[in-house]
Structures are given as C-alpha cells and as structure tokens.
Amino acid sequence: MSDYVLVTGGAGYIGSHSVLALMEAGYNPIVLDNFSNSSKESITGIGKIYGNTPIVIEGDVGNSSLVMDIFSNYDVNSVLHFSGLKSVEESMADPLKYYIENVGSSLSLLRTMQAASIHTIIFSSSATVYDPESQVPYTENSPTNPINPYGHTKLCIEQILQGLVSSNPKWRVGILRYFNPVGAHPSGHIGEDPKQTPNNLMPLLMQTAIGRKEKLLIFGDDYDTPDGTCIRDYIHVLDLARGHLSALSYLERHQGLHIWNLGTGTGTSIKELVDKVREVTGVEIKTEITSRRLGDSSKAVADPEKAKSELSWHPEYSIGNMCADHWNWQRQNPDGYQ
C-alpha cells in the first residue's frame, strides 16, 4: 500500500498515535501541523518506535495554497483531520477564536480537498456534541445539544460535512465521536503533552502522582452517581488510533457519511479512577472535594456497538492498562517532551 494520507494535527496527542498506527499498517502519512499545541519531539518519538519518521510539513491547515501544494506534490487519497483547538474552558472565554480556528480552517481544508478531487475524510468529533441531559449510554442517534462553543464547533463541522455528502455522492466521510482519550504508547516515546496548562482529569492526576501538583481537586461529589462523582468513558489512545484505521478501511468500501462513537461502553467515576491510579502508581494521591465545574454532565458513556459491528473494532485496553501506560509516559517524561 503506498497511499498518502494527509494527517492534520498529526504531531498532537491522538494524531501522533494514529500516525504511528498508519505507518505500522503500511500507509504513508503526511503530517501537517503548526505545532501550536505540540512538539517536534512527538515525531522523533514515532521514529524511535517505528524506525522511520513520517513526512512532516510545518504549517497551518487554513493555508489553502500550502494544502494545495501538498495535494499537487503527493498522491493523497484521504485526510485524517485532527487539528483544532480543544479546551472547553478556553472556548467559553474566547468563542470567536474557536469558531475561526476550528470551523474556519475546516472549511478551508474541505474547499481545497474539493478542488483537488479528494473526497475521503475522517473527522475528530467529540462526545461533547451530545445533549448532557439525555440518557447514557449515548448511541449515535442520541440527541445532540452541545453546551459550550467547543462542542458547537464540532457539531457545526459535522453538519458542514453532512451538507457536502448531500451535495456530491463522491464524498466518503467518517465522523468519530471520541469519549475520554487517555493513556500513551507503552514505550513511553509518545504521549500527551499539551503546551497549555492541562485541565483534563488524567494529566492532572498524573501530575499529582509525580509531585508537580500537591493535590487533585475533585469537582463535586454530589452528582446522581453511586459515589457522587462524575462518570466518564475513558478509552486508551491506542484503541482510538486503531479505530481510525478501521474507519479508513470502511470508507474505502462505502460512500456517504458515517458516524461512530469511539468509547469502551464502561463508565468510571472520578473516585474510581483516583483509586486505580493509586493502585498502579503506588502513590498516595491527595484529593480535595470542591464545587462542581460549570458545564459538566454527571455521566458520559458511549454505546460503541455500531463501531463494533460495522468496523469490527473492539477496544482492547482496560482502565488499568490506560493508567499504567499514562503513568509510564509521565515517569519517563516528567516535564513532557523536552
């Protein structure tokens, strides 16, 4: 197989693990990344694991002449579109930035793809598109109603993709709604290292375990859940990366737009996750219960049956594996990529 796959945001957390999976499966990924939230060390890490690094082009996805040059220079058949901004909190403080960056650059990418007659794309969507009031587990048909601008940008891009497919049957679109990605490659050569201060639970838990933070704040223990803390569906980033390969192979055989949840279907509460991290690390992690965080839903759990039956994709890693691999990454790289 010598197909080129353009991977926007391929140096980032999920992108780097997916680029590795593509290379291992015989694809030729081309990483397009402006490194606004990633490090070139992730590419070096891929090289350490695989023995070879992918083609890397530093630049912005919204730069249509650069993207057209890539399409002219390489025989690109499909695009994995990871790039974008992802902080819910920041999106509430600066919504325009999110609409411009996420929706604006996706529009530019799609227009360039259309001009180059490239019609296959897999888009990184999110569980945040679902209505937090609806019943869990969420199926792909559960009602959508994002409650923050970040989630709105994801749903908006999904709708733009729907419009494209309706306008031209040549399009092959895979929308992957990720639940809560955690973990790292077991080698410890690639992992999660955002440039901004993390506000997701797992990186903060790991920073507490390694001693960079004194304690973990738990945002509320008065939710309608068995132990009162919020429940999420954590999924190993390697399972997520494999999901992209399965989706790509499905799109090679099917036109149209297809949506799949990528989650395990198992919910874990914050207290359960803290206990698991204590067990895996052997560190007594201090926690403090504080008030609820604005915009949090009590439960977000996937129904992954559609991905399992249509894509023959099954998550392989347990919550223990996720914590162990994330801890291994954190211990080998206490300050992230150097």
Which positions lie near ligand UFG, rule CB under 6 A?
86, 88, 126-128, 179-180, 199-201, 204, 216-219, 230, 232, 270, 293, 296, 300
Structure tokens at 54: 């992918």
Quick one: DSSP state of residue 1? Answer: -
Nearest residue (CB) to ligand NAD, 162 versus 255: 162
Q: State the minimum distance, in angstroms, from the CB of residue 128 to ligand NAD.
A: 7
Q: How far is CA 152 from the centre of its chain?
A: 16
Choose, by CB under 6 A, the member of 35, 50, 74, 337 that binds ligand NAD.
Answer: 35
User: How far apart are the C-alpha atoms of 109 and 130, rounded to whole Å?
Assistant: 25
Q: State the minimum distance, in angstroms, from the CB of residue 205 to ligand UFG.
A: 8
Is 150 among the residues known to form the active site? yes
| 288, containing H or E segment | strand 287-290
Query: Cβ distance 253 to 310 under 8 Å?
Result: no
User: How far apart are the C-alpha atoms of 168 and 325, rounded to whole Å?
Assistant: 43
Q: Indicate whether 126 belongs to the interface with ligand NAD (CB under 6 A).
A: yes
Q: State the minimum distance, in angstroms, from the CB of residue 258 to ligand NAD.
A: 17
Nearest partner of 311 among 164, 159, 176, judged by Cα? 176
Nearest residue (CB) to ligand NAD, 235 versus 277: 235
Nearest residue (CB) to ligand UFG, 168 versus 197: 197
Nearest residue (CB) to ligand UFG, 187 versus 200: 200
Footprint of ligand NAD on residues 38-97 (CB under 6 A)?
38, 60-62, 82-84, 86
Query: Cβ distance 300 to 266 under 8 Å?
Result: no
Phi, psi at 92, each rounded to 5°? -75, -30
Nearest residue (CB) to ligand UFG, 23 versus 218: 218
Looking up tokens 């650069």, which residue turns up? 66
Q: Cis before residue 137, ω within 30 degrees of 0?
A: yes
Q: State the minimum distance, in angstroms, from the CB of residue 297 to ligand UFG.
A: 8
Footprint of ligand NAD on residues 158-187 (CB under 6 A)?
178, 181
Partner that binds at residue 38, options ligand NAD, ligand UFG, none, CB closer than 5 to 8 Å by kind: ligand NAD
Q: State the minimum distance, in angstroms, from the CB of residue 309 to ligand NAD.
A: 22
Partner that binds at residue 60, options ligand UFG, ligand NAD, none, CB closer than 5 to 8 Å by kind: ligand NAD
Nearest residue (CB) to ligand NAD, 129 versus 324: 129
Which residue of the set 13, 27, 130, 150 is catalytic? 150
Q: Which positions are catalytic?
A: 150
Per CB under 6 A, residues contacting ligand NAD are 8-9, 11-15, 32-38, 60-62, 82-84, 86, 101, 105, 124, 126, 178, 181, 194
